[in-house]
Copies of this chain bind each other. A is one copy, B any other.
Amino acid sequence: MKQSYNNGVEATLGVIGGKWKPQLLCHLGNRPQRTCDLRRELPAISQKVLTQQLRELESDGIISRHIGGERAPFKVTYDLTDLGRSLGQILVQMSVWGEQRASQVPDMEITHDHGGFSNIGLKMDSGI
Contacts and interface: CB of A to CB of B under 8 A. Distances in A.
Pick from A6, A10, A89, A109 the residue with the most CB of B within 10 Å: A6
A96 interface: yes
A110 B22 contact: no
A57 interface: no
B93 A97 contact: no
Q: Which applies to chain A's interface (DSSP): helix, strand, loop or mixed?
A: helix
Number of copies of this kind of chain in the complex: 2
Given A93-B90, A101-B15, A109 B8 contact: no
Contacts of A10: 22-23, 98, 110
B94 A8 contact: yes
A87 interface: yes
Interface stretch (A31-39, A47-55, A68-76, A112-120): A112-120
Interface of A: 1-13, 15-17, 22-23, 26, 83, 86-87, 89-91, 93-102, 107-114, 116-117
